[in-house]
Structure 1
Amino acid sequence: MKSHARQFSHRLFGALLAGLVLAAGLFPAPAQATSRIKDIADVEGIRDNLLVGYGLVVGLDGTGDTLRNTSFTLQSLTAMLERLGVNTRGTDLQTENVAAVMVTANLPPFAPQGTRIDVTVSALGDAESLQGGTLLVTPLMGADGEVYAVAQGSLAVGGFSAQGEAASITRGVPTNGRIANGAIVEREIEFELATLGRLRLALRNPDITTSNRIATAINTYLGAPAAEAQNPTSVELRMPAGFQGSIIDLLTEIEQLRVQPDMPARVVIDESSGVIVMGQDVRVSTVAIAQGNLTIRVTETPQVSQPNPFAEQGDTVVVPRTEVEVDEGAERQLALVGGSVSLQELVNGLNALGIGPRDMITILQSIKTAGALQAEIEVM
């Protein structure tokens, strides 16, 4: 009885093992360096909209605009008081508790009326700080000139400024603040996504290979030619025949598909900070590199010349003594970089020369000029 049970357990284990092997063949592990479609492409039409407005911040502790220097603040303050029934025409306003500001915000897609969004407030005049201020009602307009939101509230300023009679200190930017949920959406932007029969996916990093891979992954998953790569930037997506559901259901299914993005070989250089970023596909043909290290040192050692103790004439003077040394870095030699080296080998070779980032920038530009760098150089 025990032998039959043991044989049955062996057959069951073998069947389970075969099933696991079959499942591994049907569902292979995802390849490395792959990304979801939702992380590398946006749906055309689903986007933020920029809003901007002009307003006044009040309640400042003497750190607002100087009215005699900022005429627009004075005009705005006068107009606001007149709308509230206060006539200030002909009076000399001297308040320093008001500042003219620009208010900016991003209107999210499909934001309905009554929802709140964050706003950023920035000083426009010569105000020293917006700390403790309150933004008055400010309409926020879109690019079409229509009002889409209204902002108001107390500012939260991260920076601060303090000064005394002989010294002052500033941390951060006290003339820039933020109001969390400081604006109310008053108008919606119409976009009927669910009723569309086709739409386009816009790649965040345009590339023709990535665009084609996205279309291939979608068509393979759906089993129908529903996607087509139109150019390096966009992929057109059509509702496949017989698909049960809306375009939103289709997007929900395909946005989790994984593809391997491709990118051109590129070297990005920021000369101001000395930052260098190189892609993994950067290649260098055979080239010899010599990096000069010319150093000139000038040392000033002034000496004092005095007359003899019993001399009848003479003055005490300072005689300059200058010493100039030139170091041409003779220990630097010509280094050979092998043909079609990888990114790691290129970095190791340049580091072996003992050079800094700024010299490396010049070397990379020289290699590109010589035609040995198989990549595009982009200077920021």
Structure 2
Amino acid sequence: MLPVALPDAVREALLAPLVDHHCHGVRRDDLSRAQFELLISESRVPAPPGTTHFDTPLGAAIRRWCAPVLDLDPHVAPAVYLARREELGAAEVNRRLLRAAGVVTFLVDTGLEAPDLLSAAEMARHGGAAADEIVRLEKIEQDIAESAAVAVDYMDSLAERLVARAARAVGLKSIIAYRCGLDFDPSRPSRGSVIAAANRRLSDPKERLVDPILLRHLLWTAVDVARERGLPIQFHTGYGDADLDLSRADPAQMTGFIRALQPLGVPVVLLHCYPYHRQAAYLSGVFPHVYVDVGLTLTHTAAGSARVLDELLELVPFHKQLFGSDCFGAAETCHLGALYFRRGLAEALAGRIESGEWAAADAARVAHMIGSGNARRVYRL
């Protein structure tokens, strides 16, 4: 359902199947209210006593737009919505909501693999779509750290594992923003410094990686693999959960690294970006290998998402923007990511057409590019 009247060609472009270039698995099991509420908030903790995470833009959006997909009236009470969810069962809820998103291909970040999450293949089956894998670098490193005996084994095994995983993936992803911030030294670390840091790492390998030297080594090892295989590297930037220091997640802080990758031809994809989406738009405009989305921002800003998309379009080249839902856990986040992308882009395009700034044909072409065409090109789908 689009919120504005548009020429037929633009409407058709907006309603065409999407490539969701960044998402995660959703839960396969039935969820209690407490579990569900944790999945619809980035705080990852319960709401204060006497309150609920349904009293958020996302919570209101679930009651408005997801309820009808489950055969309920819009705006039903949270208890009614959750009772219907339980009645249908997780498999049917996931099938309905994933298919309602109108996604033709899911690119799934498998770094959060867990028994209770659908795999990439299961996301495809439930959603009536195709699926490909995005390999999370830090998950590979964790596995290597827990199995390597000495620093040299760690370095060799890391490179070998990345090559093997990249062979069946369409992209790589880093969450270095969570581990040390995006204001990292962009240079490739020396072999000696990596060996010293790896020896420290192997003394306590179960801890998550936060050492800036090893994180930089991981990134540069991934760059080598990505360059060889023609893969893009995604980076979490901006909005995220409480583990993130938001002030260090501004993508402009990694300008030095972006500049270093330009002659190598490795595409850099900046995920989420908000509230730094204007900085991301600038980076995509001045660097030929940089791409952006606003990801989970659309789901969490909900009714306000049109303003975010409009601001992104102020500067971003139209061939540099991608759609990604960043859905995780609750299938509602997939449906709403797609819904608010379509509705927000519809409003942005309608304003440009009405003012005479754009022709309808241009608006339709841009909608196709952002919804699927750009992702097909960047990820070589």
Which bracket does the TM-score occupy, shorter chain normalised? under 0.3
Q: TM-score, normalised by structure 1?
A: 0.19
Higher percent of residues as helix: 2
* Larger Rg computed on CA atoms: 1
Higher percent of residues as strand: 1
Q: Which has the higher contact order (CA 8 A, sep 6+)?
A: 2
